[in-house]
Structure 1
Amino acid sequence: MTDTNSLLLEYAAKNMSHKEISLVMIKEHNIHLSSNAVGKRLLRCDYPPRRGSTGYSDAKLERKIKDMLQSSPPTVGYRHMTDKLRHLNIPVRRDKVMEIMRRIDPLGVDFRRRRRIKRKIYYSQGPNYILHVDGYDKLKPFGFPIHGCIDGFSRRIMWLEVGPSNNDPEIVACNFVQTVAALRGIK
């Protein structure tokens, strides 16, 4: 084993990230390796990848999460909990934290899930019964104001036009009249 590989293994054993190892190798040993190269060399040295087990058993991790939930507000979800654990130098996968939190705090998980935006179920009585018209202003500073219309039932695009202005209701009315004429009337 080369001297470089033994240095890499030594730093990896200290639980340093590949990027940290790369920076230390450059600064301390004047050996230039990217973080990807560090990872590949560690794999060639049969060092286990970081995505696997954390060294913490599920029971130990569960106890740690329970303790942390006691002192956390009820809005702390699995992403925030994963970040807190990693901040304490506990390498853990987010899906593992999510699984444990579902098991030990099902009411909290359900509470956070209910606070998400619920989409309304939309019903239309039929084709051409209701049309949705909207404008897009992001490209207006570049001279491209856009107006469009969608059928509420079929989600068919009735028109999508780049016009001289999207502040003039006459242009929208003209697009509407042309669409009605092309459809030979609407209900």
Structure 2
Amino acid sequence: MEDVAVFHAENVAAWRKWLADNHQSKTGVWLVYHKKSSSKKSITWSESVDVALCYGWIDGKKIKIDADTSHQYFTKRNPKSGWSKINKDKIAHLLAQGLMSEAGLASIEIAKQNGSWELYDAIENLEIPVDLTKIFKQYPGTEEYFLSLSKSNKKFMLHYISSAKRPETRLKRLHEVADKAGKHQKMQ
């Protein structure tokens, strides 16, 4: 297994250079962040994600190291992973600024070809899947409760359903969501 590098970027230019030099040869890196109140300089999460997207990379798990320091894992984007609205909006901005690398542009093209670019669109638009609507009809009052939830709660539940890999898992999750809604409970 590859030893994963740890990198501290004091500014956007340093992070961009690291990715330009390593985005093809490395599979991941832990990027160090320092709190604004710290005497040590580092880039922000938003800046780091912007640059990572330019090279076809994405942020992952974040771990606190101490009171002022954390690091976050960045890796090459899985071609089958869905694209969030936040990241697609970031991409539009980065494209307009001419900041995308060939690798970043290729990751977008692959996503558009394999459907992962649109994977979360229905969730972002809060579209209730047909199979969930059918299940709601079996549980009186569930659809009304579901519709009364905040956008973030509805998105969480819709993502939970759509991320099921197997049909039987999806069916189980559909019933879980309906059961929770029937009890006027949010999913945790």
Q: TM-score, normalised by structure 1?
A: 0.23
The higher relative CO (CA closer than 8 Å, separation ≥ 6) is in 2
Q: TM-score, normalised by structure 2?
A: 0.23
- Greater share of strand: 2
- The structure having more radius of gyration, on CA atoms, is 1
